[in-house]
Amino acid sequence: MQGHAEDYRSPGSGANAAIGVLLSHGFTGSPKSMRPLAEHLAADGYGVAVPRLPGHGTSWQEMNKTGWPDWYAVLDNELERLRKEHDQVFLAGLSMGGCLVLRLAEEHGTDISGLVLINPSVRTDDKRMVLLPVLSRLMPSFPGISNDIKKPGMDEGAYDRMPLRALQSLSQLWQTTREDLAKVTQPVLMFRSTVDHVVEPSSGRTVLASISSRDVTETLLEDSYHVATLDNDAPRIFADSTAFIRRVAADA
């Protein structure tokens, strides 16, 4: 396993221990991208969990042996544990992690109190994707985009290759999640970077246009690229996420 790719958990303490937060990293990434947000929430006393998704934090070859049901199952199991240990559970996801937590929200309804989405991916405008079912059988990987971070010296611990079989599975997750977005009724806080070299603006627009949530806030990040949790706007994400969880939990 790569350094800093391990799971991160904190049980919670004090008045906020009644609230758990499940955080999901993105495609080819690792818990490293979500750990600063998780540590911020843990410092406020919230119970947090950032599991490493199967095939991540090891090698892209390993990831090609996994698919979205594997990634989802890990989060689903973690959610079940958090629900037993906390009165309320919130979800937070970056990129593909945003799609996975949207899927959890679709499936689990009122068991989930709210969602924090950071540059969530639910689609792509890349025309090459129509060739993916064929390409993924002919070649194992493409050069990937990792470390799309404006702040110098930051590393999310992602692969530099894009595993194509896993990417094919991700496209199936996108479609499955998009079809059920109207089932999302929970309060949503979405952060979207105005410059993102990985996820196109159409993803965020699709989410906002399709969910049924009444309590929705979109915050544009002007000084960060895709991995905003490790970028210049990270302090704002941390502060706003904490305020959102506190407000929604109190309303409940």
Q: What is the C-alpha separation between 111 and 89, in angstroms, rounded? A: 7
CB 69 within 8 A of CB 59: no
DSSP structure class, residue 52: P
- Who's near 215: CB < 8 A, 6+ residues apart? 114, 187, 188, 248
In terms of C-beta density within 10 A (0-12 exposed, 13-18 middle, 19 or more buried), how is residue 129 classed? middle
- What does the block give as tokens for 79? 């959610």
CB 178 within 8 A of CB 205: no
- Who's near 164: CB < 8 A, 6+ residues apart? 64, 132, 135, 136, 139, 140, 141, 142
Q: What is the C-alpha separation between 131 and 234, in angstroms, rounded? A: 36
CB 192 within 8 A of CB 204: yes
SS3 helix, strand, coil % of the chain, rounded to 5? 45, 15, 35
Residues acting as catalytic residues: 95, 196, 226
Per the annotation, does 154 bind a ligand? no
Per the annotation, does 34 bind a ligand? no
Mark the binding-site residues for substrate, compressed into ranges.
Answer: 27, 96
Mark the binding-site residues, compressed into ranges.
Answer: 27, 96
